[in-house]
């Protein structure tokens, strides 16, 4: 079986490649990239003229909700949504019920995600840093590493005790396991439901001050600097946090960071009349933050873009604002939001865009992904993107089980039309049928 993706714009940040050319897949492997000489025995052809051919996208921050919260999402629906979003590798977060804090649950996740019913993407689990996400005792990180976790994190329940975090980092250095850190000093953020600012004062909602994020960012960066543990800062949202990361990187701390599409698209103003779709953790900030976050995306201080896909059932979000859970269903819109708000606006080049959505996340977590170099990934992983197609995101047509989508009804420019992981795992209705030919 030989498959040709013909005449696309090949964008592969792992090789600094941005050229017009083709990609040849034989069975489930990428064989050749660029100008293909040997076009004999081609079984199927996808005409990619005008489209991008990129390494499969990598999402470092996804909540699949299984086990325990299958009413919000399952491994099956979440991975299908990921494939539709252009992803071939996703990292699932440990705040399930029970949490991902032991090897047996990691086995369960890996088995289930590899089943034929699932979406066909690779799932790389992130293990709980502490048992039960309680912030008290370290999990059995060595055993979980052997079972297949790619990083450790307490995600939305960040470790407050600095001695425990120091120990965790020292142990993770030994294991070669990156720590993913949601940065929040909960003594400052406790009870907060939105950004502490002019809008929270108007709405009478308790604010989460930016200092909660920034103090914890500083602490985690300092501990990273002194222990040498690679720390990935999750979902930065304030200009101050970015400045701290910039400083700590310049001092040599092995830190990286990600931003989520909500935080460069929306501000606290979007909460409007108590709209729970815009309740995020950390909270949506201000226009000034977005301007400086865009600069940091451009200059490379912000390494990665992650969806923080956080599905919640409709009955859970149709409640008073302070009772609503944090987060939004985003994995099917993240690429489009990024292309629309960062690439088409000139903030990121196409190469930088794909770097932050694929290559860099793979490098940060040492994943065999994010590249089109033959043999570098276990199977061919690539995404065909039409960067110019205009479409409207409709949550009722999404694969995700949950419809808490702030991007609902928004029009975007750019979409993944084909996703390959081994073989084709997703073909969008917007991919013109006349562009596909089969000769078998």
Partner 1 sequence: MSSNLLGIRNLEPDQINELISLGRDFKKRVRAEESVPNLSRKVVGMLFFENSTRTRVSFEQAAYYLGMRSSNFATSASSMSKGETLKDTILTLRHERLDGLVMRHKSSGSPVLAARHFGGPVINAGDGQHEHPTQALADAVTIIERKGTIEGLKVAIVGDVKHSRVARSNGWLLEKLGAEVRFVGPRTLLPTQTANLPGAFYDELDEGLENVDVVICLRLQKERMEQGMIGSTGEYAHMYQINAERLQVADPGCIVMHPGPINRGVEIDDPTADGERSAITSQIENGVFVRMASLYWCFGGNA
Q: Contact 296/375 with Cβ under 8 angstroms?
A: no
Q: CB of residue 274 vs partner 1: minimum separation in angstroms?
A: 3
Site for partner 1 in 322-361 (CB under 8 A): 322-323
Spell out the residues 6+ positions from residue 238 whose beta carbon is closer than 8 angstroms to its own.
210, 213, 214, 282, 285, 289
Which residue among 42, 121, 199, 362 contacts partner 1 (CB under 8 A)? Answer: 199
- Rounded CA-CA distance 93/391 in Å is 30
Q: Which stretch binds partner 1 (CB under 8 A): 28-36, 134-142, 318-326, 368-376?
A: 318-326
Q: Which stretch binds partner 1 (CB under 8 A): 76-84, 192-200, 351-359, 426-434?
A: 192-200
- Rounded CA-CA distance 157/84 in Å is 29
Please give the distance of CA 148 from its chain centroid, rounded to a whole number: 19
Q: Which is nearer to partner 1, 40 or 315 (CB)?
A: 315
Q: Which is nearer to partner 1, 207 or 414 (CB)?
A: 207
Please give the distance of CA 161 from its chain centroid, rounded to a whole number: 27
- Rounded CA-CA distance 130/165 in Å is 10
Q: Which is nearer to partner 1, 313 or 351 (CB)?
A: 313
**Is residue 204 close enough to count as binding partner 1 by CB under 8 A?**
yes
Q: Which is nearer to partner 1, 200 or 383 (CB)?
A: 200
Q: For residue 5, with 0-12 CB atoms within 10 Å meaning exposed, 13-18 middle and 19 or more buried, which class applies?
A: buried
Q: Which of 376, 366, 360, 309 is nearest to 95 (CA)?
A: 309
Site for partner 1 in 272-291 (CB under 8 A): 273-274
**Is residue 187 close enough to count as binding partner 1 by CB under 8 A?**
no
Q: CB of residue 204 vs partner 1: minimum separation in angstroms?
A: 3
Site for partner 1 in 239-278 (CB under 8 A): 273-274
Q: Which is nearer to partner 1, 206 or 246 (CB)?
A: 206
Q: Which of 92, 9, 13 is nearest to 352 (CA)?
A: 13
- Rounded CA-CA distance 57/360 in Å is 10
Q: CB of residue 355 vs partner 1: minimum separation in angstroms?
A: 36
- Rounded CA-CA distance 421/293 in Å is 32
Q: Contact 99/132 with Cβ under 8 angstroms?
A: yes
- Rounded CA-CA distance 343/11 in Å is 14
Q: Which stretch binds partner 1 (CB under 8 A): 5-13, 321-329, 421-429, 430-438?
A: 321-329
**Is residue 315 close enough to count as binding partner 1 by CB under 8 A?**
yes
Q: CB of residue 240 vs partner 1: minimum separation in angstroms?
A: 15
Q: Which stretch binds partner 1 (CB under 8 A): 72-80, 197-205, 254-262, 330-338?
A: 197-205
**Is residue 390 close enough to count as binding partner 1 by CB under 8 A?**
no
- Which residues are catalytic, by number? 308
Q: Contact 361/92 with Cβ under 8 angstroms?
A: no
- Rounded CA-CA distance 104/262 in Å is 34
Q: Which is nearer to partner 1, 156 or 197 (CB)?
A: 197
**Is residue 318 close enough to count as binding partner 1 by CB under 8 A?**
yes
Give strand pairing partners of 207.
194
Q: Which of 340, 316, 339, 338 is nearest to 328 (CA)?
A: 316
Sign, CA torsion 361/72/394/410: negative
Q: Which stretch binds partner 1 (CB under 8 A): 39-47, 49-57, 201-209, 259-267?
A: 201-209
Which residue among 99, 119, 209, 406 contacts partner 1 (CB under 8 A)? Answer: 209
Q: Which stretch binds partner 1 (CB under 8 A): 127-135, 153-161, 163-171, 205-213?
A: 205-213
Q: CB of residue 239 vs partner 1: minimum separation in angstroms?
A: 16
Which residue among 35, 202, 434, 439 contacts partner 1 (CB under 8 A)? Answer: 202
**Is residue 319 close enough to count as binding partner 1 by CB under 8 A?**
yes
Between the alpha carbon of residue 436 and those of residues 4, 384, 386, the distances in Å are 10, 13, 15
Q: Which is nearer to partner 1, 203 or 351 (CB)?
A: 203
Q: Contact 280/328 with Cβ under 8 angstroms?
A: yes
Residues at the contact surface with partner 1, assessed by CB under 8 A: 196-199, 201-207, 209, 273-274, 315, 318-323
């Amino acid at each position: 079986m030989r498959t040709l993706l013909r005449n696309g714009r090949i964008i592969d940040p792992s090789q600094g490649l941005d050229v017009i050319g083709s990609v040849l897949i034989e069975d489930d492997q990428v064989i050749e990239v660029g100008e293909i000489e040997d076009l004999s025995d081609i079984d199927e052809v996808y005409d990619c003229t005008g489209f991008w051919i990129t390494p499969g996208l990598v999402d470092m921050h996804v909540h699949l909700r299984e086990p325990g919260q299958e009413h919000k999402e399952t491994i099956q629906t979440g991975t299908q949504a990921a494939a539709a979003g252009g992803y071939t590798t996703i990292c699932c977060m440990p705040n399930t019920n029970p949490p991902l804090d032991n090897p047996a649950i990691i086995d369960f996740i890996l088995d289930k995600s590899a089943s034929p019913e699932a979406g066909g993407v690779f799932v790389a689990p992130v293990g709980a840093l502490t048992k039960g996400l309680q912030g008290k005792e370290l999990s059995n990180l060595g055993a979980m590493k052997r079972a297949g976790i790619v990083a450790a994190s307490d995600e939305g329940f960040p470790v407050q005790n600095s001695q425990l975090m120091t120990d965790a980092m020292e142990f993770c250095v030994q294991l070669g396991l990156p720590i993913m850190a949601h940065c929040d000093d909960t003594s400052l953020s406790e009870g907060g439901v939105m950004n502490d600012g002019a809008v929270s004062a108007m709405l009478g909602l308790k604010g989460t001050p930016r200092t909660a994020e920034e103090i914890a960012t500083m602490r985690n960066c300092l501990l990273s600097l002194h222990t040498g543990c690679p720390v990935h800062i999750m979902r930065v949202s304030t200009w101050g946090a970015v400045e701290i990361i910039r400083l700590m990187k310049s001092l040599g701390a092995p830190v990286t960071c990600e931003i989520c599409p909500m935080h460069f698209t929306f501000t606290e103003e979007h909460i409007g009349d108590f709209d729970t779709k815009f309740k995020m953790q950390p909270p949506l900030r201000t226009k000034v933050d977005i301007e400086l976050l865009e600069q940091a995306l451009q200059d490379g201080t912000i390494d990665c873009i992650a969806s923080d896909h956080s599905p919640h059932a409709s009955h859970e979000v149709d409640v008073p604002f302070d009772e609503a859970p944090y987060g939004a269903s985003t994995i099917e819109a993240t690429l489009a939001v990024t292309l629309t708000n960062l690439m088409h606006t000139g903030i990121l080049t196409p190469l930088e865009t794909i770097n932050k959505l694929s290559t860099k996340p793979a490098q940060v977590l040492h994943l065999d992904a994010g590249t089109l170099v033959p043999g570098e990934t276990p199977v061919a992983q690539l995404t065909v993107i039409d960067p110019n197609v205009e479409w409207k995101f409709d949550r009722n047509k999404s694969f995700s089980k949950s419809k808490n989508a702030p991007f609902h009804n928004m029009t975007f420019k750019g979409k993944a039309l084909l996703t390959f992981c081994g073989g084709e795992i997703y073909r969008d209705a917007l991919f013109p049928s006349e562009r596909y030919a089969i000769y078998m």
